[in-house]
Every structure is written in structure tokens, then in C-alpha cells.
């Protein structure tokens, strides 16, 4: 567990701050995708902002609870990190029109992300450092994002790329994760001995 005042503690606090910004970016991207609809390729570049900030946030989740995770929990977070890097590379491939690079993001990165979020969420639930709802939300993040995109498809449409209406859900979930990280960091601040 991140000790009060230690480098891990600062990392958890920064990850929480990154998560708040990521949430705002996901929601803005989701709103733009829903209100304006359609397939807009500039969104494929913009999505990298909340994606990278979400990577930082989830790294903070791992950092906050790493002393309480079992080996398979560490593996789950490692696979999750790999999936997110593949997703980022794939998005770069999409933006730059480099098909082999784009393939890393979809289907490989996307499937790995979907599968890795479940055990990472279960590990978070079991570690008990963050509120258990964080683990549940992590495990359900992508299925709920897909469901949000489908539910909003009459307004925003369904497209292979350039539409991120599911970002609305991602933003809300990432915000809840970020607030939990900030709460853990604040709690550790309160427990820090006075000089």
C-alpha cells in the first residue's frame, strides 16, 4: 500500500488528478460524438488524450493497492497496461493510416482490454483498498461503454471509427475511480504523523 508521504502516495494523488481530467475529456468527447454524431476522424486523434490519462489513472489504482494484490492481480494489471499500450499504438495507426499498426489496437488491443479489465476489477474488489464499487465498475467499464454506444446509436449512429458516444459512460466511471484514488490519498494525508 502506498505509504503516507512516500513516492507511491504522490503517484496515487497524481493518478487521481489525471483521472479527473481524463473523465472530463471522455465526457467532452462523448458529448461531441453524441450531439454532432457521425464519423469524425479528428476524434480518433483526440481520443488519445483521455486514453493516456486513463492509463495513468489505472496505474494509480495498481499503485494504491499493489501490496494487497495477489500474483494474478499483478498479472491482470500488467496485461491491462499492455492492452492500453496496444490500443494507443493502434489509434496512432488509425490516425496515420498505417494498417499494421492499426491492427494492434483493433482487434488485438481492444479484445485484450475487454478481457483484462475483468480480472483487474475483480482484483481491485478483493484487495479492498478502494471502495468495492471501483472494482465492479472497472470490470464492467467496457461492456457498459458498448451498451451506451448502442443505446445512443439512434442519435449518434454506429461507426467503425471517429465516434465515441460510449465515452460518456467511460468518463463517469473514470471519474468515480479518480475520486476514490483522491479519497485514499486524502485519508493517507490525514494519517501522516505531524512533524
Judge whether 53 lies within some domain: yes
Res. 7: pLDDT tops 60: no
CA distance 122 to 6: 27
Under a CB-based contact definition with an 8 Å cutoff, are residues 112 and 126 in contact? no
CA distances in angstroms from 189 to 125, 130, 169, listed in the order given: 23, 16, 30
pLDDT at site 191: 59
Count of residues making up the chain: 195
Under a CB-based contact definition with an 8 Å cutoff, are residues 134 and 159 in contact? no
Judge whether 18 lies within some domain: yes
pLDDT band at 2 (very low <50, low <70, confident <90, very high): low
Judge whether 29 lies within some domain: yes
Judge whether 81 lies within some domain: yes
Count structural domains, the chain: 1
Average pLDDT rounded to a whole number, residues 84-90: 98
pLDDT at site 9: 80
pLDDT at site 187: 73
pLDDT at site 6: 55
* 152-176 pLDDT, tens digit each: 999 998 888 999 999 999 999 999 9
Judge whether 1 lies within some domain: no
pLDDT at site 8: 73
* 27-79 pLDDT, tens digit each: 999 999 999 999 999 999 999 999 999 999 999 999 999 999 999 999 999 99
Judge whether 16 lies within some domain: yes
Judge whether 92 lies within some domain: yes
pLDDT at site 186: 83
Dihedrals φ, ψ of 167, to 5°?
-65, -25
Show Cβ contacts of residue 80 under 8 Å, excluding neighbours closer than 6 positions.
58, 113, 116, 117, 120
* 128-161 pLDDT, tens digit each: 999 999 999 999 999 999 999 999 999 998 888 9
Helices (H), the chain: 7-35, 42-46, 48-65, 71-96, 99-103, 110-127, 132-151, 153-156, 167-191
String of DSSP letters for 3-34? PTTSHHHHHHHHHHHHHHHHHHHHHHHHHHHH
CA distance 13 to 77: 19
CA distance 169 to 71: 30
Residue-number span of the structural domain to which 68 is assigned: 7-191
Q: pTM here?
A: 0.92
pLDDT band at 115 (very low <50, low <70, confident <90, very high): very high
Judge whether 30 lies within some domain: yes
pLDDT at site 70: 96
pLDDT at site 108: 94
Amino acid at each position: 500500500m502506498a505509504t503516507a508521504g512516500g513516492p507511491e502516495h504522490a503517484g496515487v494523488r497524481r493518478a487521481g488528478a489525471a483521472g479527473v481530467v481524463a473523465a472530463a475529456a471522455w465526457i467532452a468527447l462523448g458529448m461531441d460524438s453524441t450531439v454532432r454524431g457521425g464519423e469524425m476522424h479528428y476524434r480518433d486523434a483526440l481520443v488519445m488524450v483521455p486514453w493516456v490519462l486513463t492509463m495513468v489513472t489505472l496505474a494509480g489504482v495498481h499503485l494504491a493497492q499493489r501490496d494487497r494484490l495477489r500474483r494474478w492481480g499483478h498479472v491482470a494489471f500488467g496485461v491491462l497496461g499492455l492492452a492500453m499500450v496496444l490500443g494507443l499504438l493502434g489509434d496512432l495507426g488509425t490516425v496515420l493510416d498505417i494498417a499494421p499498426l492499426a491492427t494492434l489496437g483493433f482487434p488485438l488491443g481492444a479484445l485484450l482490454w475487454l478481457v483484462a479489465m475483468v480480472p483487474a476489477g475483480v482484483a481491485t474488489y478483493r484487495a479492498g483498498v478502494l471502495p468495492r464499487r471501483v472494482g465492479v465498475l472497472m470490470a464492467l467499464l467496457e461492456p457498459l461503454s458498448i451498451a451506451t454506444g448502442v443505446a445512443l446509436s439512434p442519435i449518434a449512429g454506429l461507426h467503425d471509427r471517429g465516434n465515441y458516444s460510449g465515452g460518456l459512460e467511460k468518463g463517469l466511471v473514470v471519474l468515480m475511480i479518480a475520486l476514490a484514488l483522491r479519497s485514499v490519498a486524502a485519508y493517507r494525508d490525514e494519517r501522516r504523523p505531524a512533524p
